[in-house]
């Protein structure tokens, strides 16, 4: 029987979130810090995301370029190097107040919109978005909160809007637990199941290429309402 995140984390839900918050509070507000010591992959990551985003804009019914939301944004790395180039306004959210404060300085653009300091498990977007970008953050949500957040995002999409999920994928069929930062990595089929249970369909998917050996495979999904 396939396990859910709630059954594999060796702690209760509140501790799962509080441990992650404590971990990230000790991380320096730098590219290398937010990427866990892998700052050297940032350019390659952005290049892969750029290709994926351009593919979305080439769809028959592409998303607009009005407003985007960067989820788990850290200091605004993706906002600055990707989203600002394609959208008139970009909001961002991160639970770490130091990261959010640093993002104002780091992004430094009149296209930077609202900045939210909150965890995704208790966040409901208040604006309407063309693209909601979720990268390397959904592993900090339980399955139930994952689905709730996706459903909240669905209600915040403009016409032809898209939720982008870019996440590590386990090479096995098991959920991997990282006790250090209190996160999990899901198998591919587990993610697809969560999308389906969140009333989402995948309209485009790609695998990130050119990452160093030894890292998790990384996949990108573009999601719309069923």
Question: Strand locations in the chain, DSSP E?
Answer: 67-71, 89-94, 112-117, 129-135, 157-168, 176-178, 183-185, 200-207, 218-225
Q: Encoding tokens for residue 145?
A: 């909160």
**Count of C-beta atoms within a 10 Å radius of residue 90:** 28
Q: Is 77 annotated as a binding residue?
A: yes
Structure tokens at 94: 């991160």
Q: Would you call 120 helix, strand, or coil by DSSP? A: helix
Query: Does 148 carry a binding-site annotation?
Result: no
* Annotated binding-site residue? 208: no
User: How many CA within 13 A on the CB side of residue 111?
Assistant: 20
In sequence order, the 6+-apart residues with CB closer than 8 A to the CB of 53 are 82, 86, 131, 164
Binding residues for S-adenosyl-L-methionine: 72, 77, 120-121, 135
């Amino acid at each position: 029987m396939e396990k859910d995140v709630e059954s594999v984390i060796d702690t209760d839900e509140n501790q799962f979130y509080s441990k992650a918050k404590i971990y990230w509070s000790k991380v320096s507000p730098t590219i290398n810090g937010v990427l866990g010591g892998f700052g050297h992959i940032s350019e390659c990551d952005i290049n892969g995301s750029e290709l994926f985003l351009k593919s979305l804009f080439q769809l028959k019914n592409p998303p607009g370029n009005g407003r985007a939301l960067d989820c788990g944004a850290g200091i605004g790395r993706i906002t600055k190097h990707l989203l600002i180039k394609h959208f008139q306004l970009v909001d961002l959210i991160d639970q770490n107040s130091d990261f959010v404060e640093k993002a104002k300085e780091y992004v430094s653009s009149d296209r930077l919109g609202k900045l939210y300091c909150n965890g995704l498990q208790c966040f409901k977007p208040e604006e309407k978005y063309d693209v909601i970008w979720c990268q390397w953050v959904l592993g900090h949500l339980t399955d139930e909160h994952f689905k709730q957040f996706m459903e909240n995002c669905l209600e915040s999409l403009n016409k032809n809007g898209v939720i982008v999920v870019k996440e590590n994928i386990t090479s096995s069929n098991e959920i991997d637990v990282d006790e250090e930062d209190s996160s999990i990595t899901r198998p591919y089929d587990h993610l697809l199941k969560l999308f389906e249970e969140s009333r989402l369909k995948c309209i485009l998917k790609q695998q990130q290429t050119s990452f160093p050996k030894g890292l998790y495979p990384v996949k990108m999904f573009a999601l719309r309402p069923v």
